[in-house]
């Protein structure tokens, strides 16, 4: 993005163009861009197919707020008992069928996966 005070830069881009992160499904689409080098339309389609929604739904905080809680992949508002942090990412990796580096490191540390799986 770039430099600027939070109100003039980050809030402005958030309102004008952003998918909204964990408020909707922006974090999931960003993961597909990073891990699979997918361009935006492909990344949205991939995530939408996995969530059984349309690409339009992915930026809709009304639709995604409930769906994220139902899928237990973390919500932006605090809900007791809903997966947070690492627990949410373990479920996201499974949902999107991707490897998330921190999840792999966590599995190695906790011995949840046998052997010494390397992130690659």
Partner 1 sequence: MKILTRMGDASNVELTPDELRTEFVTGSEAAAVKAKIPTLTENEIDFLVDMFSAPTRLWGVQRGNEVVMTKDGCVNALNSSRMSSGVVAPVNREVGVRLFESMLGFDSMEVSHNDYSVKPQRFLKALEQLHMEILQEVTIFPLLYGFMPNLGLYYRPDGSFENPSDLLPLGKIDEARRTQEEALEACLEDCVEMSDCMVAMGADGIDYDTVASTGDAEFLAVLRTTEHVAKETGLPVEIGMSSEMVLGFHGQLEYNGVRLAGLWPHQQLELCEQAGCAIFGPVCNTNTKKTVPWNLGRALTFVKACTEIAKIPVHPNVGMGVGGVPMFETPAVDVVTRCSAAMIEIGKADGL
Number of Cα atoms under 13 Å in the Cβ half of residue 23 = 9
Q: Is 96 in the site for partner 1 (CB under 8 A)?
A: no
Nearer of residues 52 and 109 to partner 1, judged by Cβ: 109
Of 66-85, binders to partner 1 (CB under 8 A) are: 73-74, 76, 84-85
Paired tokens of 104: 């792999």
Q: Is 120 in the site for partner 1 (CB under 8 A)?
A: yes
d(Cα 115, Cα 18) in Å, to the nearest integer?
A: 40
d(Cα 18, Cα 109) in Å, to the nearest integer?
A: 35
Q: Is 12 in the site for partner 1 (CB under 8 A)?
A: yes
DSSP designation for 117: P
Q: 110 to each of 13, 90, 113, how far by Cα in Å? A: 39, 13, 8
Q: Is 6 in the site for partner 1 (CB under 8 A)?
A: yes
Q: Is 10 in the site for partner 1 (CB under 8 A)?
A: yes
Site for partner 1, rule CB under 8 A? 1-24, 26-27, 29-31, 33-35, 37-40, 43, 55-56, 59, 73-74, 76, 84-86, 88-89, 92, 100-106, 119-120
């Amino acid at each position: 993005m770039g430099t600027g005070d939070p109100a003039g830069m980050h809030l402005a881009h958030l309102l004008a163009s952003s998918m909204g992160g964990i408020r909707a499904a922006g974090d999931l689409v960003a993961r597909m861009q990073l891990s699979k080098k997918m361009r935006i339309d492909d990344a949205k389609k991939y995530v939408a197919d996995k969530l059984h929604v349309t690409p339009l739904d992915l930026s809709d905080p009304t639709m995604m707020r409930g769906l994220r809680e139902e899928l237990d992949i973390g919500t932006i508002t605090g809900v007791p008992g809903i997966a947070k942090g690492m627990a949410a990412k373990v479920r996201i990796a499974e949902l999107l069928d991707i490897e998330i580096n921190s999840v792999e490191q966590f599995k190695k540390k906790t011995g949840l996966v046998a052997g010494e799986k390397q992130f690659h």
